[in-house]
Amino acid sequence: MGQPKRAPSRSAGGGEPLSRSLLLPLALFLALALLLYGNTLRNGFVNDDKPLVANNALVNDASRLGDIFTSGYWSTRQDSVPELYRPLTVLSLALNRRLTGAAPSGFHLVNLLLHGCVSFFVFRIALSIGTSRAAAWAAGLIFAVHPVHTEAVAPVVGRSELLAALFFLAALKLHHAIMHGKGGASFAFGAASCYLAASLSKEGALIFPAIALLTDIAFPPARAVSRRARAAPFALYALAALLVLGIRYEVLGAVARSDIRPLDNPLVALPPGAALSTALVALGGTLKLLVYPLRLSADYAGTEIRPAAGLLDPRVVAVLALIFILVAAAALAWTRLRSASWGIAFLLIAILPVSNLFFLIGTIFGERLLYLPSAGFCVAAGALWGEWRGRSKMTALAAAVLVLLAGSARTVARNSIWQDDGTFALATSRDAPSSPKAQFNWGVFLEEHSDARAEAAYREAARLAPDWSDPRYNLAGILAASGRLTEAIEEYRAALAIRPDDARAVLNLGYALYRAGRHPEAVELYQRFLKERGESAPVLNSLGANLLAMARRDEAVAAFQRAVQLAPGEPGYRQNLEQALKTSEETPTPAP
């Protein structure tokens, strides 16, 4: 007699074989991600992709792998920038570089595959909390095609959102299984490990225990699971959170440390009441995008979100009313359609860390921040659609097809703005006309391509952000290059009035004065800078050139000598010194 035949493998729910319940849906979600985001494989490194990926030694230098866990997220040069700590994100990029090479396509491919996996987990979690299979598919598909996710998937730097969401949802799936008597200790350690990985991918994932508790309340653990067994996972989550916070403190010097600029998050410059009110307005815009993602933007700085006048601002009142309606709807649906209630609660809890309501973050709003919270929205939407389907199947199916096709088309079209720097800069300047950063970046691109429109872009950026020196500095450079020295000098002075310690502006203003023959002004400028800021070889060299032009030879020689002492490896300074030493009335004056 032969060996007895084995029964086919079954899913955790005891229904379909694993190949159908897991592998086929996963394959379908991966295929859908490739279909929707396949056009990103042609995209290059754009915007933040360059410092964080393309030019980041931690990603590209194999000998620096060990430094990843001891460096801040923005450690793109020699020194660590103590703002964020996402070592697993950086590690994934470094491994991506080893496996697929330096080309952008390899990084984009991994991003779209991760998005397919996250969509699959949204489907699986919806299924595990009791929605019908059709409703779970609706949740996963809505998540997969939602256009608001393009900012997390299309640029390579969205990797932190993708990894954090993937590990977060994997931890939640394991946690829910534990609470229903499956997996035991191995699942508990697995859930805690996934939570740790999510938090080391992006700090917002630290809220996971709150979502796990929500899930336990909404879908109570099985009676066979003891109180001790229920508490054990939370003890592991606490240890994981303490570990993350401890490492952050050791590496960054603080648990939460960030240099927030008004240019990135205008709320930091507002009084507390106005900041809270405006944050509520931003939250309202966030919720609107989940339902109606037609107008998307990669930049919400400046006055793209107009500051609120206070809690009685009509927009604030509308947002508070919307939140009340959502909470009331979740409460009313608690008995009949609990998965929808859970999804709404998931959304509201997950969005809190990035809402600026309790503490300010580095940006007023970014569509990428919706990636994880939108999982709750998609589960709720899927559950509601499932109820509709039960009453009017054909109408519900037709509506679903329409929504999915519209979302897919918007997503595919939106991906193209990350094609290259020019496309991104133009699209962002149009999408965010009141953002000084968007107008400035457009100006930089135009200037790099010798386009005369750069001047207008810089002037607009300076108008939108009068306390930002960079637009005026760049504008002055354009004016100086075109021979409009008087205007250039005026703009350089304006830039220095905003940022007096900017050595670049001092040197370039001095050179513009030199070219205009206004040598006494240049000398006064350089001498004041040296007195206030200390010695600088470039400034001393330029000072010497202007002194020599004024026939103050001995002072010029002294300035050149000191420049050579400070920077002995700079041949230009030595040449200027030698020329000054043999200067006569016929000898040309050295250039600054």
Sign of the Cα torsion 146, 149, 151, 155 reads negative
Residue type, 214: L
Distances (CA, A) of 546 to 503, 521, 549: 17, 9, 5
Residue 183 has a pLDDT of: 80
Say how many C-beta atoms besides its own lie within 10 A of residue 235's C-beta.
12
CA–CA distance, 576 with 589 (Å, rounded to integer)? 9
Phi-psi region of 181 (alpha: psi -120 to 50; beta: other; left: phi over 0): left
Residue 77 has a pLDDT of: 52
pLDDT digits (tens, 9 = 90+) for 373-418: 999 999 999 999 999 999 999 999 999 999 999 999 999 999 999 9
Question: Residue 426 contacts by C-beta under 8 Å, 6 or more apart in sequence?
Answer: 442, 445
CA–CA distance, 64 with 102 (Å, rounded to integer)? 16
Confidence of residue 252 (pLDDT cuts 50, 70, 90): confident
pLDDT higher than threshold 50 for residue 576: yes
pTM over 0.85: yes
pLDDT digits (tens, 9 = 90+) for 481-516: 999 999 999 999 999 999 998 989 999 999 999 999
Residue 41 has a pLDDT of: 97
Q: What is the mean pLDDT of residues 527-543?
A: 92
Reading the block at residue 533, the tokens are 């800021």
pLDDT digits (tens, 9 = 90+) for 136-148: 999 999 999 999 9
Residue 257 has a pLDDT of: 59
Confidence of residue 586 (pLDDT cuts 50, 70, 90): very low
* Residue 11 CA to its chain's centroid (Å): 37
pLDDT higher than threshold 80 for residue 14: no
Confidence of residue 17 (pLDDT cuts 50, 70, 90): low
Residue 590 has a pLDDT of: 61
Confidence of residue 582 (pLDDT cuts 50, 70, 90): confident
Confidence of residue 261 (pLDDT cuts 50, 70, 90): confident
Alpha helices, DSSP H, located in 449-570: 454-464, 469-481, 485-498, 503-515, 519-533, 537-549, 553-566
Q: Which residue has the tokens 């350690």?
A: 189
pLDDT higher than threshold 80 for residue 3: no
Residue 11 has a pLDDT of: 40
% of the chain exceeding 70 in pLDDT: 93
Residue 253 has a pLDDT of: 82
Nearest to 509 by CA among 556, 463, 548, 475: 475
Nearest to 91 by CA among 124, 53, 122, 129: 53
